[in-house]
């Protein structure tokens, strides 16, 4: 009977398999159904009801995640009823989602600049990347960093901490933007291919420049027409240079024109250029004319000689290049905005020593930037607050003589929210004055209306009642379909950042028009906001965050400012980095990958629809790697379930019931107090930002690039996805690989990436001279190495390759030893001291996929949930009887085991088990006869040993003199039909591993499906060492160097006449005796990882010359005479061979931080010895594979008797610095 089931999905016939859920079939057919609680690694839970669908014949909608398909079922996944139901589900979830999607600084910014994102990048030293984020919405960050009115800083929640000021957002923006502008390769966005469309932009102020910047990127040719001789508009002609230098305006103008935009100066619409000409040459026009006509005082006598509008005063100096001479003159500036500040401070620089500002309200109501007010006071400006002009007094010649002022009181608030100034009767007084600068407002000049309307087609350009350009506020399209407007010319005098925001809106609308699309307002994203629930109060912030006062902006001394040099000198890098730490990270770090936000956007969720009582929680950051924010939790239970069902840790639980339910660590406030394995699987399961990584850097949110690779830690061989920004890795997630097919990962993969961002990495060759390292060239380093190799006898050189290297690198190391140094002295410290039992323990491993088919699983000498967790998940998922044998009575596997026994020695325990089985005739004779050799000799030697002695030395007295723990294990393992024994080379010695292989042969389980053994090696490419010939007496594919046929093959392949002879003496003994004069160590840290450090240090002290190739300054590198900088595996690409002998190839994901990669260095060293057969890692791989043996007939398994446990491990952490570093950091952070 066929398992296929026929269904109708959205009107289309399709098929699924018996037992499949509707959600899975739809996904396979390319139909997206939203879901939040579903995780393919878990059985359906139906908690969110966002995945509802309609089944013909059913009255109610059904959850697609938990509804199985049935023959003939007709399913609809998208109609109005379904849409409303999903929206309702999302609205309900959002009604208790007390969290901010984005930070209030971004919300308040008119341009929507991602402040939190770019602060995160600044903190990492990625200044150009920060500018890239800023310029997505604001093309003028260096200008804005100087003169923006900073609404973002007013919204900053750091203000709630009573520190006086919010985060110095603008100052950090300026630092990043200036750094980028001065760099050799400043940020330049990609420009789309030309669309053939042309746009005329009127005005080269902030609106015009911004419009051109956005449209040019889309492939539309932009030409800007500017009435003045220079760009900038009010930025140049209204803001003095001591605040905004002209060269900064020019640099940011250049960033626009380098995209292909043109600027034509001294071109004024309606005068020397007509709309008729523009309409003939261009497909669209954007008017960004600004509001640059000043107003006077609005009182009697304002026509006196000596009364100027502040705008005209500032503009005239910039246009003429001449400064006013106010020496000995008394200046009064009327107004309280930033233009007033520019006027009064400029007057001082025009040599006046008596400058007053008249403002009708109090200082608290002044709209000017408080910093400008403060600086003006330092410079000597005097303020007359609550004072207003009544009239201007002039002499008989019409020249200004004095002005009459009146005191003001504050009444009720007006429309602006500020208290209304009310004249105080009888308080008038006069002051002498030589010049009055009126800075109380600006107006828009649109004297080109007639010119446009005369030639316009399809509509008319109209003014508003305030004299500004009339445009649709949602699109900024005017009455003429092809004409758009933006900036102060539309809004009246506003701010720089508002002009930029309007330009972005106008350019978007213009783009829609040019591409034939409907011109409509951009769709607004859904944003969850804490402010939707309640106002944020100081009491909720004070005490929760560390106090940190804002970094002061370095400025020129006030007595040195009688000039137009820039007053604010800019933050230093140290100040900027300090200031980044003040950011409270209010926005959600999961903004770019939150499933909840994605669906809320799609279904236009309304957070306020069902809003009422809500829950609030404190952020739980007690765990060093995991953060829990229950405010963002939607109670999908995926984290709880994956921890229980996949990991088997049961570290998370649902506390309380109903509306009060929340996720928390089981039995405590800290995850560390539970059985948490710190694997990060809960993070991978969370569909929101409720459980995230507790990172040691500012997390973002930041859009990231990705690449896939294989994990560089343990030997399971999981596929990972690295998420990075120009090489700065910010997180790692599991990818669906050959081993971790469901994308699971462990703490090594999830958290073990942080070393990548360490700036202390070695990037250049270092040569020790007089006890100190000096940078040298690679060529010089290679010459020194080749000379040193030649300076001693061949076999006085020894080469060591790490189990962390790629197969290709390991192959090149052994080839360098044999071709370059002409020696077989090539090994790995990782296996030094005994590897015989490890060489073949992977030959007949049970496939990981077959674990689920086991009837019982035995863990012997394996802390699998700590050292190889992903394999541990497979064991847990099998849900079969688990028996654990450990020498550690505090093993972390106790809570998972059906039975747990503690032994003294794995080696003696297994020998005792083997002895019991053979002595009692319980061996599988048929299997042994058909598949094995050497059994009789093994049996004879083993039975000579005393069973009771073996048991006594292997077991504790609790098991009794009958050695019940041995016999029970032996009977259980032997009698189980599909028994898998898993062990770890980290815990089990080489001789014990050999005896485990013997056990698998005795019981007839070796090499069978779902039955036998699984050895777990320590490092990602431990097995590669054997396959690639990193052994003194075997070469590629473990082929014996005494094999004349193989030697002839390798000589031919390598184009060499002589192959080095085998050194019969033990390599380890020779090393321990200090017989090697030159040591060449690639990727290992034997001193740092030595169990007996003093002995290893003593041996190293005897060596005459030591070369270390590594990523960081390890303990071994410190003792080297020459250091080569190593690349990382994902920088070069290559392949690893996991514990199951599965070769996994991966490509380079990032560029090496070294001039030459590790492999390229080895290739060039080989060239020094005349070996030029390999030019890259692909050729190295091809050559290595060509030397592997071809096996025509299966070989039989070989019993090997071990008389005693003679070998022991000499090094920890796989003798790898990076693994040692993570292990120590991880255990230290968790307090282990």
The 10s digit of each residue's pLDDT in 974-1026 is 999 999 999 999 999 999 999 999 999 999 999 888 899 999 999 999 999 99
Say yes or no: 666 and 779 in one domain. Answer: no
Give the CATH number of the domain where residue 809 resides: 3.40.50.740
Neighbours of 416 (CB within 10 A): 9
Query: Do 647 and 671 touch, CB atoms closer than 8 A?
Result: no
Would 519 be classed as within a structural domain? no
- Locus of tokens 């070369």: 1107
Instruction: Give the pLDDT of residue 1192.
Output: 60
Closest CA to 692 of 636, 621, 600: 621
Say yes or no: 859 and 998 in one domain. Answer: yes
Half-sphere exposure of residue 420, counting CA atoms within 13 Å on the CB side?
6
Question: What's the pLDDT band for 291 if we cut at 50, 70, 90?
Answer: confident
Give the CATH number of the domain where residue 333 resides: 3.50.50.60
Nearest-angstrom CA–CA distance, 145 and 122? 14
More confident site: 357 or 415: 357
Nearest-angstrom CA–CA distance, 354 and 822? 89
Would 593 be classed as within a structural domain? no
Closest CA to 75 of 33, 126, 128: 33
Instruction: Give the pLDDT of residue 891.
Output: 86
Nearest-angstrom CA–CA distance, 695 and 701? 12
Per-residue tokens: 887: 């020498």
Say yes or no: 435 and 345 in one domain. Answer: yes
Instruction: Give the pLDDT of residue 60.
Output: 95
Instruction: Give the pLDDT of residue 833.
Output: 83
Neighbours of 617 (CB within 10 A): 16
Question: What's the pLDDT band for 580 if we cut at 50, 70, 90?
Answer: very high
Instruction: Give the pLDDT of residue 963.
Output: 75
Nearest-angstrom CA–CA distance, 931 and 940? 19
Q: Exposed, middle or buried, 83 (CB in 10 Å: 0-12/13-18/19+)?
A: middle
Say yes or no: 909 and 1032 in one domain. Answer: no
Would 135 be classed as within a structural domain? yes
Would 926 be classed as within a structural domain? yes
The 10s digit of each residue's pLDDT in 842-889 is 888 999 999 999 999 999 999 999 999 999 999 999 999 999 999 988
Per-residue tokens: 741: 């097919």
Question: What's the pLDDT band for 957 if we cut at 50, 70, 90?
Answer: low
> What are the residues whose beta carbons fall under 8 Å from the beta carbon of 92, sequence distance 6 or more?
610
Instruction: Give the pLDDT of residue 960.
Output: 44
Q: Which of 1016, 1037, 1062 is the last residue of a domain?
A: 1016
Q: Containing domain of residue 749, as a range?
A: 614-757
Say yes or no: 639 and 738 in one domain. Answer: yes
Instruction: Give the pLDDT of residue 956.
Output: 82
Say yes or no: 619 and 724 in one domain. Answer: yes
65 three-class SS: coil
Summary mean pLDDT of the chain: 94
Q: How far is CA 1075 from each of CA 185, 1009, 1065, 1069, rounded to the nearest angstrom?
A: 52, 47, 11, 9
1113 three-class SS: coil
How many degrees, rounded to 5, is the angle at CA 590 between CA 586 and CA 591? 75
Instruction: Give the pLDDT of residue 46.
Output: 87
Per-residue pLDDT at 1196 exceeds 80: yes
Say yes or no: 367 and 298 in one domain. Answer: yes
Neighbours of 81 (CB within 10 A): 12
Nearest-angstrom CA–CA distance, 518 and 515? 9
Query: Do 1034 and 1062 touch, CB atoms closer than 8 A?
Result: no
Neighbours of 96 (CB within 10 A): 20
Would 183 be classed as within a structural domain? yes
The 10s digit of each residue's pLDDT in 28-74 is 999 999 999 999 999 998 889 999 999 999 999 999 999 999 999 99
Nearest-angstrom CA–CA distance, 753 and 91? 38
Instruction: Give the pLDDT of residue 1190.
Output: 80
Residues of the chain with pLDDT > 90, as a percent, come to 88
Nearest-angstrom CA–CA distance, 746 and 646? 12
Instruction: Give the pLDDT of residue 834.
Output: 80
Per-residue tokens: 878: 């099998």
Nearest-angstrom CA–CA distance, 53 and 900? 48
Would 553 be classed as within a structural domain? yes
Per-residue pLDDT at 959 exceeds 60: no
Instruction: Give the pLDDT of residue 1231.
Output: 85
Q: Which of 464, 491, 514 is the last residue of a domain?
A: 514
Instruction: Give the pLDDT of residue 761.
Output: 97
Would 929 be classed as within a structural domain? yes
Instruction: Give the pLDDT of residue 759.
Output: 95
Half-sphere exposure of residue 578, counting CA atoms within 13 Å on the CB side?
12
Give the CATH number of the domain where residue 142 resides: 1.10.1060.10
The 10s digit of each residue's pLDDT in 567-576 is 999 999 999 9
Instruction: Give the pLDDT of residue 835.
Output: 81
> What are the residues whose beta carbons fall under 8 Å from the beta carbon of 474, sequence distance 6 or more?
520, 521
Residues of the chain with pLDDT > 70, as a percent, come to 99
The 10s digit of each residue's pLDDT in 727-770 is 999 999 999 999 999 999 999 999 999 999 999 999 999 999 99
Into how many domains does the chain fold?
7
Would 520 be classed as within a structural domain? no
Say yes or no: 646 and 694 in one domain. Answer: yes
Per-residue pLDDT at 1152 exceeds 70: yes
Q: How far is CA 790 from each of CA 810, 814, 817, 927, 1124, rounded to the nearest angstrom?
A: 22, 17, 12, 53, 19
Closest CA to 915 of 960, 972, 966, 978: 966
The 10s digit of each residue's pLDDT in 258-280 is 999 999 999 999 999 999 999 99
How far from the centroid of its chain's Cα atoms is residue 295's Cα? 51
Say yes or no: 421 and 548 in one domain. Answer: no
Say yes or no: 1082 and 993 in one domain. Answer: no
Give the CATH number of the domain where residue 892 resides: 3.40.228.10
Instruction: Give the pLDDT of residue 2.
Output: 67
- Locus of tokens 């599909």: 978
Question: What's the pLDDT band for 1193 if we cut at 50, 70, 90?
Answer: low
Q: Which of 411, 441, 471 is the last residue of a domain?
A: 441
- Locus of tokens 């090499």: 1007
- Locus of tokens 């958290």: 751
How many degrees, rounded to 5, is the angle at CA 590 between CA 589 and CA 592? 110
Say yes or no: 1028 and 1140 in one domain. Answer: yes
Strands 400-413 and 387-394: antiparallel
Say yes or no: 1166 and 1040 in one domain. Answer: yes
pTM of the model: 0.94
Instruction: Give the pLDDT of residue 444.
Output: 87
Q: How far is CA 703 from each of CA 592, 680, 693, 733, rounded to the nearest angstrom?
A: 7, 21, 16, 15
Instruction: Give the pLDDT of residue 668.
Output: 72
């Amino acid at each position: 009977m066929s398992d296929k089931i026929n269904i109708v999905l959205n009107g289309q016939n399709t098929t699924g398999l018996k037992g499949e859920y509707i959600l899975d079939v739809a996904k396979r057919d390319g139909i997206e159904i939203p879901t939040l609680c579903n995780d393919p690694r878990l059985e359906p839970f139906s908690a969110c009801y966002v995945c509802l669908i309609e089944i013909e014949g059913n009255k109610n909608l059904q959850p697609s995640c938990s509804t199985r398909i049935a023959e003939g079922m007709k399913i609809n996944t998208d109609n109005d009823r379904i849409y409303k139901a999903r929206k309702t589900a999302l609205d309900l979830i959002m009604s208790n989602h007390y969290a901010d999607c984005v930070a209030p600084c971004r919300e308040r910014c008119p341009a929507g600049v991602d402040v939190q994102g770019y602060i995160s990048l600044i903190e990492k030293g990625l200044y150009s990347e920060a500018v890239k984020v800023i310029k997505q919405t604001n093309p003028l960050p260096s200008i804005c960093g100087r003169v923006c009115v900073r609404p973002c800083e007013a919204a900053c929640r750091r203000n709630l901490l009573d520190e006086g000021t919010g985060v110095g957002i603008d100052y950090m923006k300026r630092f990043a933007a200036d750094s980028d502008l001065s760099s050799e390769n400043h940020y330049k966005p990609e420009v789309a291919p030309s669309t053939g469309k042309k746009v005329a932009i009127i005005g080269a102020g902030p609106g015009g420049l911004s419009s051109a910047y956005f449209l040019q990127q889309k492939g539309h040719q932009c030409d800007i027409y500017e009435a003045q001789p220079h760009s900038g508009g009010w930025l140049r002609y209204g803001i003095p240079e001591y605040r905004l230098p002209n060269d900064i305006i020019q640099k940011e103008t250049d960033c626009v024109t380098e995209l292909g935009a043109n600027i034509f100066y001294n071109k004024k619409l309606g005068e020397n250029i007509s709309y008729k000409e523009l309409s003939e040459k261009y497909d669209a026009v954007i008017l960004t004319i600004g509001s640059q006509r000043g107003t006077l005082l609005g009182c009697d006598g304002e026509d006196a000689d000596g009364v100027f509008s502040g705008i005209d005063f500032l503009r005239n100096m910039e246009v003429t290049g001449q400064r006013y001479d106010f020496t000995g003159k008394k200046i009064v500036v009327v107004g309280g905005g930033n233009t007033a500040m520019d006027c009064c401070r400029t007057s001082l620089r025009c040599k006046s020593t008596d400058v007053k500002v008249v403002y009708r309200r109090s200082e608290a109501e002044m709209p000017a930037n408080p910093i400008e007010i403060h600086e003006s006071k330092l410079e000597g400006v005097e303020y007359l607050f609550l004072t207003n002009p009544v009239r201007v007094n002039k002499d008989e010649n019409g020249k200004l003589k004095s002005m009459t002022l009146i005191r003001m009181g504050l009444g009720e608030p007006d429309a602006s929210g500020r208290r209304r100034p009310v004249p105080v009767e009888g308080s008038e007084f006069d002051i002498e004055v030589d010049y009055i600068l009126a800075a109380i407002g600006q107006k828009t000049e649109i004297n080109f209306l007639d010119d446009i309307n005369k030639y316009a087609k399809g509509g008319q350009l109209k003014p508003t009642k305030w004299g500004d350009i009339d445009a649709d506020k949602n699109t900024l399209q005017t009455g003429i379909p092809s004409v758009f407007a933006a900036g102060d010319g539309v809004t009246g005098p506003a701010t720089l950042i508002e002009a930029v925001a309007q330009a972005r809106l106008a350019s978007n609308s213009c783009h829609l028009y040019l591409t034939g699309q409907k011109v409509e307002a951009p769709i607004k994203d859904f944003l969850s906001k804490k402010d939707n629930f309640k106002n944020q109060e100081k009491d909720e912030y004070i005490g929760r965050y560390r106090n940190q006062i804002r970094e002061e902006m370095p400025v020129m001394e006030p007595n040195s400012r009688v000039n137009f040099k820039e007053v604010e000198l800019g933050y230093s890098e140290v100040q900027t980095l300090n200031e980044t730490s003040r950011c409270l990270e209010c926005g959600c770090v999961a903004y770019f990958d939150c499933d909840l936000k994605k669906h809320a956007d799609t279904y236009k969720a309304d957070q306020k629809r069902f809003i009422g009582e809500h829950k609030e929680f404190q952020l739980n950051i007690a765990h060093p790697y995991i953060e829990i924010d229950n405010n963002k939790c939607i109670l999908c239970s995926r984290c709880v379930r994956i921890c229980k069902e996949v990991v088997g840790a049961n570290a998370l639980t649902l506390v309380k019931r109903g509306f009060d339910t929340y996720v928390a660590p089981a039995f405590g406030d800290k995850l560390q107090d539970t059985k948490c394995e710190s694997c990060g699987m809960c993070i991978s399961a969370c569909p929101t930002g409720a459980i995230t990584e507790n990172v040691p850097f500012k997390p973002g949110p930041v859009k990231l690039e990705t690449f896939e690779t294989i994990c560089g830690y343990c030997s399971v061989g999981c596929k990972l996805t690295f998420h990075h920004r120009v090489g700065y890795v910010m997180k790692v997630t599991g990818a669906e690989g050959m081993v971790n097919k469901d994308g699971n990962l462990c703490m090594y993969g999830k958290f073990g990436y942080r070393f990548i961002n360490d700036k202390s990495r070695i990037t250049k060759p270092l040569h020790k001279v007089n006890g100190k390292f000096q940078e040298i060239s690679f060529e010089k380093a290679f010459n020194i190495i080749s000379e040193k190799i030649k300076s001693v006898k061949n076999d006085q050189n020894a080469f060591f390759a790490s189990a962390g290297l790629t197969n290709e690198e390991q192959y090149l190391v052994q080839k360098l030893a044999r071709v370059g140094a002409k020696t077989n002295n090539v090994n790995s410290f990782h296996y030094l001291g005994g590897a015989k039992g490890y060489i073949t323990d992977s030959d007949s491993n049970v496939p990981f996929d077959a674990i689920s088919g086991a009837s019982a699983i035995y863990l012997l000498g394996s802390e699998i949930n700590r050292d190889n967790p992903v394999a541990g998940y497979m064991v847990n998922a099998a849900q079969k009887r688990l028996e654990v044998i450990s020498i550690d009575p505090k093993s972390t596997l106790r809570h998972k085991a059906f039975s747990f026994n503690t032994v003294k020695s794995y080696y003696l325990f297994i020998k005792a088990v083997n002895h019991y089985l053979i002595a009692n005739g319980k061996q599988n004779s048929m299997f042994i006869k058909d598949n094995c050799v050497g059994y009789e000799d093994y049996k004879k030697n083993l039975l000579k040993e005393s069973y009771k002695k073996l048991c006594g030395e292997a077991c504790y007295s609790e098991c009794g003199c009958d050695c019940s723990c041995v016999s029970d294990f032996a009977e259980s393992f032997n009698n189980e039909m599909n028994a898998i024994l898993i062990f770890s080379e980290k815990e089990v010695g080489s001789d014990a591993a050999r005896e485990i292989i013997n056990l698998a042969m005795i019981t007839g389980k070796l090499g069978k499906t779902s039955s036998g053994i699984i050895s777990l090696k320590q490092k990602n490419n431990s097995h590669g060492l054997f396959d690639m010939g990193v052994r003194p007496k075997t070469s590629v594919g473990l082929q014996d160097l005494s094999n004349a046929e193989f030697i002839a093959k390798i000589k031919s392949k390598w184009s060499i006449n002589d192959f080095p002879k085998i050194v019969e003496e033990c390599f380890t003994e020779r090393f321990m005796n200090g017989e090697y004069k030159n040591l060449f160590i690639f990727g290992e840290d034997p001193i740092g990882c030595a169990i007996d450090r003093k002995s290893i240090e003593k041996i190293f002290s005897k060596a005459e010359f030591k070369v270390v190739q590594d990523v960081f300054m390890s303990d071994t590198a410190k003792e080297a005479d020459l250091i080569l900088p190593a690349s990382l595996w994902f920088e070069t690409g290559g392949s690893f061979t996991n514990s199951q002998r599965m070769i996994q190839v991966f490509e380079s994901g990032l560029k090496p931080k070294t001039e030459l990669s590790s492999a390229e260095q080895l290739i060039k060293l080989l060239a020094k010895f005349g070996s030029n057969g390999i030019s890259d890692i692909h050729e190295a791989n091809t050559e290595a594979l060509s030397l592997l043996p071809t096996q025509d007939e299966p070989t039989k398994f070989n019993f090997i008797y071990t008389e005693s446990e003679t070998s022991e491990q000499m090094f920890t952490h796989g003798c790898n610095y990076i693994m040692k570093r993570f292990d120590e950091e991880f255990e230290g952070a968790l307090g282990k």
